[in-house]
Copies of this chain bind each other. A is one copy, B any other.
Amino acid sequence: MGVVLGDNSYGKSGIRLVRVVRAGDRHELTDLTVDVALAGDLADTHRTGDNAKVLPTDTQKNTVYAFAREYGVDGPEAFGLRLARHFVDSQPAITRSRVTLAAHGWSRLGGHTFTPAAGGTRTAEVTYDGVRAEVVAGVRDLVLLNTTGSRFAGFVRDRYTTLAEADDRILATRVEATWRHAGSDVDWDDSHRRATEALVGAFRATDSDSLQQTLYELGGAVLAACPELTEVRLSLPNLHHFLVDLAPFGLDNPNEVFWAADRPYGLIEGTVRREPDPA
């Protein structure tokens, strides 16, 4: 029997980078977690332990810190592009890089005082193959909740269905969204702001018959607000809030008292794409 090496990559994950820019009394704070993954002509290290083509993951970590000082950190997408290009362009054996970044937002409380921002974590994933760089931006852990404007009815009933129809329920989710850029000549901060505002605005505005419908509206709103994007992927857990039955205690419960469940939860995932130009 013979075996062959298939897809593979290696790199350093969980690189924690904090950068402070001190413009007089008003400091700026950048806080990233960076993962690097490299692929290429790496059969030797797998088959024989010959590491002559292996740039150590420790070096990848050093590069992240050195680049932060040499070039600054102008947002996760641009910093990721710089890193992704560097590893492929400088290492003959490396033909593909993926840099994944989470930007931990901080809110300003003073000239040099900060507290973590609400609103989820901004993410970016940059891939580069020596010719083309691709940027997928996004957000995760953005929790949104509507206390009304959500229903779920008219569904399939089989032998195992006991669920009652709901004509007014709490809808809560923890948005994980990624959106794919058509190019890389983008005002990244502005694009991310428009995409996120579109997401939140659509969640607020959608009168929803299913979380799937909400997903489709969210994806469409992001594409409408951001012509620079080609598609949006959404992963929306349905964080169930169940009405408590208070009848045993002689009490009604007019959609007022709920318990929030941990598990199980619904999980709705989908992609919304821009329709190809007919021209």
Q: Main secondary structure on chain A at its contact with chain B?
A: mixed
B residues in contact with A37, CB < 8 Å: 267, 269
Bin chain A's interface residue count.
35 or more
B66 touches A260 (CB 8 A): no
Q: Which of B17, B18, B47, B160 contacts A170 (CB 8 A)?
A: B18
B residues in contact with A51, CB < 8 Å: 152-156, 209-210
Q: Does A193 contact B (CB under 8 A)?
A: no
A223 to B110, CA, bound (A): 22
A216 to B261, CA, bound (A): 32
- Given A3-B275, A57-B238, verify A16-B118 contact (CB < 8 Å): no
- Across the two chains, which residue of chain B brings its CB closest to A87? B158
Contacts A50-B154, A65-B246, A110-B204 aside, 14 further interface pairs with beta carbons under 8 A come to: A10-B267, A15-B263, A17-B257, A42-B212, A45-B209, A46-B213, A47-B213, A51-B153, A59-B163, A69-B253, A109-B200, A115-B119, A115-B143, A262-B263
